[in-house]
Structure 1
Amino acid sequence: MAMTTGKVKLPDEVVTAVINKAKDTSVIAALSPSTPQVFTDRDYLVFNGRSEADVTAEGQTKSSYEQDTTTVTAKRFKVQTTTRVTSELQWADEDNRFQIISAIQEDQAAAIGRALDYVVLHAINPKSGEALAGYDALSGTAVQVTAGDDDIANVDALASAVNDLYDVNGVALSKTWAARLRKLRVPATGMRYFPEIPLNLQAGTLDGVKAATSGTVNGRLAKTATNVLAFMGDFSLIKWGMVRDVTSTIIPYGDPDQTGVDLSAVNQVAYRTEAVFAYAVLDPKGIAVLKSAATGTAGK
């Protein structure tokens, strides 16, 4: 005998409790301004201005110099995240349903922002934790600095490693290194060396330079440990933007994420958020990366 809707107990009220765990954020979005992108292969013609004034005597032949230019092509990548939820969500009244959907979309938008760091900094797919083919990780092309036991010396070594043609205008900290720096104290007074790093490690500056802290810096989702502690240098060299803005779609049926389970078979609907990015690193030698000598498997 078929079940009638009269025998189904519908929820009178849906109460949503969102657990706000500490979320990683994009350090690139924080330290490098975004620029609009187009859906074509954009080439950046890098002009390395190096002219200097020449003092000439009366009647002396005037000198000149040859100007070099290089070309860097922006790379595109598409990111998406799909969340399955029970179709009973549709039974909730409009206010409660909007609250749940908003929480899902906020979570997905944050994930897409973190993906920018994983691709540019580590050439890693954050969902799988595996390396991406055809992408050059900034952690591999930047100036390499190996961390020692003295973290004050490590800060100085990072700054010294940046090509002197560039200004240091940003530092991206892993939470591991930010925690270590926060604990450093002046032996004579007990005062903190870096009082600008709070208990939550979200430093706005470090030694007068704009800073951002995130687990994306060391790639906490990577299957293989990156050993990265920090990046420092000229973050204006990282050009990025959205080719297609973030869009959200409701998928009522089918198998959108290829799990082998149809949505309708298990009374589910899916919410998908996706975007297309483009980025280019004009000169990776304008940024230095600090790495620990330790090896191992990355932790979540």
Structure 2
Amino acid sequence: MAMTLEKLPLPRELATAVVNKAKDTSTIAALSPSSPMIFTDKDFLMFNGKSEAEVVAEGQSKGSYEQDTTTVSAKRFKVQTTTRVTNELQWADEDNRTQIIEAIQLDQAAAIGRALDYVIYHAVNPKDGEPLTGYDALTAGAVQVPAGDDEIANVDALADALNQTYDVNGVALSRTWASRLRKVRVPSTGMRFYPEIPLNLQAGSLDGITAATSGTVNGTKAKTPTGVLALMGDFSLIKWGMVRDMFATVIPYGDPDHAGTDLQNVNMVAYRTEAVFAYAVLDPKGFAVLKTPAGEGA
């Protein structure tokens, strides 16, 4: 449904105020640094060093190790979001500096960032919540940790699932679990056990490691509840970047979103933001996922 002038008190002077509702962001972008990508098929050569020094006596034969390497291919995906508005709204924005168009484009850019989590974590299209064909969900391939009633034990269980093999450097929290952790208190004093989680749930750390909170972690847009509460692991194992930088386009005519009407026929324009990502998860077992029991949503 297009935004129309009927929703705005024009021709009075208009000022736009953005309501700061809780906004989901990409936890992968927060926990895993991006790297430039080019529009070619890219493979990552994985080297798992496993050498150990050998003590040898004088004249003793020296042993060796067989070192295997594996490759992981990066996958590309294109994302876009399109918003229709009346051309009168466009004129009003130009004349009165209402910043409505700027707010629309910023909102679209944030949506594209969230898509990174939906594709990599859940293999889900955030627009309709349906599974994506040809993509593997990280939450399916990661080490599975069933959630119990003791939240402190849940944190420890995530770490224990990885610490013998991988270096844990980050944790992505769902808003559901972040809220639960914030409420855990020390029985003897009543103090919060995780004071680093503030009221807005935007934790920068959890128990000494970097943390990020978002509804993308449990996939709030997914039609089928994922049950995911958190992912912990080595986020350097997620390699991602933009093949083509995010760009915005003004579309003055045609039917760009298959709404059934030509833009010019109904005096509308469309604003579209697009980007192309590439990513590879080098080893899903470098992550542990905390899930609720079967049948319970998160």
- TM-score of the pair, normalised by structure 2: 0.93
1:171 pairs with 2:171? yes
Alpha-carbon separation, structure 2, partners of 1:153 and 1:93: 53
SS of residue in 2 equivalent to 1:116: helix
Q: Is the 8 A contact 1:86 1:267 kept in 2?
A: yes
Alpha-carbon separation, structure 1, partners of 2:48 and 2:72: 13
Change over 3 Å in CA distance of 1:161–1:103 after alignment to 2: same
Give, in angstroms, the shift of residue 297 of structure 1. 6.8
What 5-or-longer segments of structure 1 have no aligned partner? 1-9
Q: How do 1:156-235 and structure 2 match up within 5 A?
A: 156-162=156-162, 164-235=164-235
SS of residue in 1 equivalent to 2:144: strand
1:74 pairs with 2:74? yes
Report the counterpart of residue 54 of structure 2 in structure 1: 54
Report the counterpart of residue 4 of structure 2 in structure 1: none
Alpha-carbon separation, structure 1, partners of 2:295 and 2:82: 33
Report the counterpart of residue 3 of structure 1 in structure 2: none
Alpha-carbon separation, structure 2, partners of 1:284 and 1:94: 48
Alignment-mate amino acid for residue 177 of structure 2: W
Q: Is the 8 A contact 1:223 1:297 kept in 2?
A: no
Give, in angstroms, the shift of residue 58 of structure 1. 1.1
1:30 pairs with 2:43? no
Give, in angstroms, the shift of residue 97 of structure 1. 4.6
Report the counterpart of residue 88 of structure 1 in structure 2: 88
- TM-score of the pair, normalised by structure 1: 0.93
- Write the deviation string for residues 259-295 of structure 1: whole angstroms up to 9, x where unpaired: 1122122221100000000000000001000000152
Q: % of aligned pairs identical? A: 77
Alpha-carbon separation, structure 2, partners of 1:80 and 1:163: 38
Alignment-mate amino acid for residue 231 of structure 1: L
Alpha-carbon separation, structure 2, partners of 1:139 and 1:195: 27
Alignment-mate amino acid for residue 56 of structure 1: V
Stretch moving more, 156-165 or 118-127: 156-165
Number of residue equivalences: 289
What 5-or-longer segments of structure 2 have no aligned partner? 1-9
Alpha-carbon separation, structure 2, partners of 1:52 and 1:276: 42
Report the counterpart of residue 20 of structure 2 in structure 1: 20
Report the counterpart of residue 122 of structure 1 in structure 2: 122
Alpha-carbon separation, structure 1, partners of 2:73 and 2:296: 34
Alpha-carbon separation, structure 2, partners of 1:122 and 1:77: 14
SS of residue in 1 equivalent to 2:99: helix
Report the counterpart of residue 136 of structure 1 in structure 2: 136
Report the counterpart of residue 258 of structure 2 in structure 1: 258
Give, in angstroms, the shift of residue 169 of structure 1. 0.3
Alpha-carbon separation, structure 1, partners of 2:195 and 2:90: 49
Change over 3 Å in CA distance of 1:82–1:52 after alignment to 2: same
SS of residue in 1 equivalent to 2:64: coil
Q: Is the 8 A contact 1:35 1:241 kept in 2?
A: yes
Cα RMSD after superposing both structures: 1.5
